[in-house]
Structure 1
Amino acid sequence: MALFFLVFGVCLLVVGGMVIILMSTSTPRYRTEPKDLLVLFDKALSSEVSETEWNTIIDYPIRHDEYLNGIRRRAAHLMETHGRHWQIAQGKPLLNADGQAELQALRDHLAAHTALRSR
């Protein structure tokens, strides 16, 4: 009977400890910042980005900043319009020439806006 209470107490301690730990931690959150988009655009312009990395950042809505969400939506539209998913494996750019030019303009616009905002 003493062994039963010992096992029951240890199990209760372990399960109770896990419940307390899980209830005291919060859900991790990822916030896309302007620097994250600039790095992604630079990688895309130099043909170093994978489609998975592009989709991970561009397909995730940015709820804390409407301006950044607009930039993200414009980049997603560029991918829909000018994207070449099938040629990434061959080492070719993510976007065609028109898409590269538009992405460069979008990147420059975001960099200028970020510089103005940081002053």
Structure 2
Amino acid sequence: MALFLLVFAVCLLIFGGMVGLLLLSGTPRFRTDPEQLLTLFDQALEGRVNESEWNAIMGYPIRHDDYLDGVRRRAQRLMEEHGNHGRAARGKPLLDATGHGELEALRAHLASRQALRERQRSVE
């Protein structure tokens, strides 16, 4: 009987500790920042990004910044309208010529906004 109680207490301690760790650990969060979007846009414009990388970032909503989420949704729309699925796997650019030009404009707009925010932060 003493052995049973000892094994039961050890198991209870292990399971209780695991439940406690799971309750205290936070949910991992991924926060997309403007630099990540700019890097992804640069890679897409240079033809160095594949669809999996593109979809991993563009498919995840950005809840902490409405402007960035709008940029993400616009880039996603560009892919739907001007992207040819499987092009990157064949060694071709991810977007056609029209989409490439629109992505360049979107990237320039995001870069100028980010530069303006950085200047405002340095003044403060």
- TM-score of the pair, normalised by structure 2: 0.92
List runs of 5+ in structure 2 lacking aligned partners.
120-124
Letter in 2 for 1:20: G
2: CA distance, partners of 1:20 / 1:77: 43
The number of aligned residues is 119
2: CA distance, partners of 1:8 / 1:83: 60
Output aligned runs, 1:1-119, within 5 Å.
Answer: 1-119=1-119
2: CA distance, partners of 1:84 / 1:72: 18
Deviations 1:44-70 (A, max 9, x none): 011111111111111111111111111
RMSD: 0.8
2: CA distance, partners of 1:66 / 1:91: 34
List runs of 5+ in structure 1 lacking aligned partners.
none
SS of residue paired to 1:12: helix
- TM-superposed CA distance for 1:10, in Å, is 0.7
Letter in 2 for 1:68: L
1: CA distance, partners of 2:85 / 2:43: 15
Runs (4+) of structure 1 moved beyond 4 Å? none
Sequence identity, in percent? 62
Letter in 1 for 2:9: G
- TM-superposed CA distance for 1:86, in Å, is 2.0
